[in-house]
Amino acid sequence: MSMHIRHGDKGGEMKIIGTQDYIVAAERFLHRNPIAYRKRAFVTTEDPGVIDFLSKTAFINPSQSFGNGDWTW
């Protein structure tokens, strides 16, 4: 999976989407496609805070139905 989390100048054009929201969306996608995908994401961003957040986050569980939370960023 690939994610570009844009937090820099995009904030002047629209509401910034939080890093946690990206993870929740990825978890939901993988929940619907469990065989075809692994919990690996290539993340690009201009915000060092995103990398810091991801380095401390194995997963964010949007519902109790999700199992293994091991993400590789």
pLDDT in tens, 4-37: 998 877 667 778 888 888 888 888 888 888 777 7
Residue found by looking up tokens 């890093």 in the block? 19
User: If you average pLDDT over residues 48-54, what whole number do you get?
Assistant: 87
Buried b (16+ CB within 10 A) or exposed e, 19-50: beebbbebbeebeeeeeeeebebeeebeeeeb
| Per-residue pLDDT, 66 | 42
| Per-residue pLDDT, 35 | 79
Average pLDDT, the chain: 78
